[in-house]
Amino acid sequence: MAAKVIQAIYNDDDLVLQAVKQINGENYYVSEVFSPFPIHGLDKAMGLAPTRLAITSFLYGLTGLTVAILMMNFIMIQDWPQNIGGKPSFSFFDNMPTFIPIMFELTVFFAAHLMVITFYMRSKIWPFKKAENPDPRTTDDHFCVEVEVANHNEEALVKFIKDTGASEVKLID
C-alpha cells in the first residue's frame, strides 16, 4: 500500500528551496521534488547522497583509452606494420605521438556514450516510458514538492506547508 503524500505546488524556485529546507527542518520527509529545471542546492536541501557518476565516467574513459591502445597496437604494430614516410612502425612507443589524437578521441567517445547509457539506466528513463510527474505544469513553470504524511497530523502538516508559501496543497492517498 502506498503511503499518503501531500503535494505542494510552488511558483518560484527560490521558494521551493526554502520550503524544502523548512520541511526537512521540522523532521518531515520530502520524498520527491518535480521541477522544470535543475535547482542549485536542492540535492543538499533534500539530504541526497552525492552522485558517483563522475567515478563511472573516469572508469569509462579508462576503458576507452585501453581499447584505443590495444586496437592501435594490434592494427598498426602487430597485424599490419607499414613503413609510412620512412618511419617504420616496429614499436608502439616510437609511434605514440601519432596515436595520441586517436587515444583522446576514443577516451571521450567511450566516456560520453557510456555515461548517457548509465544516466538513463540509473534514472530509469526507458524508451516509451510514460511520464511520472504528478502535475503537467511541473514541466513548464511550476514546482511540486511531495511530502510523506506517515504518522504526522495531516491538518497540521497541510497548514505548515501552506505557511511555507505553497500556492496549492493536495492530499493524495
- Per-residue pLDDT of 87-114, as tens digits, reads 666 778 887 888 899 999 999 999 999 9
* Domain match, 57 and 103 both: yes
- The domain total for the chain is 2
- Whether residue 157 is contained in a domain is answered as no
* Domain match, 109 and 144 both: no
Q: What is the DSSP letter of 152?
A: S
The residue to which cell 616496429 is assigned: 90
- Whether residue 101 is contained in a domain is answered as yes
Q: What is the DSSP letter of 114?
A: H
Which is nearest to 126 in space by CA: 139, 136, 117? 117
pTM as predicted = 0.70
Beta bridge partners, 168, equal: 9
How far apart (Å, rounded) are the C-alpha atoms in residues 121 and 51?
Answer: 14
Range of the domain at 61: 53-123
How far apart (Å, rounded) are the C-alpha atoms in residues 7 and 33?
Answer: 9
* Domain match, 146 and 109 both: no
* Domain match, 104 and 60 both: yes
User: Using 50, 70 and 90 to split pLDDT, how confident is the model at 82?
Assistant: confident
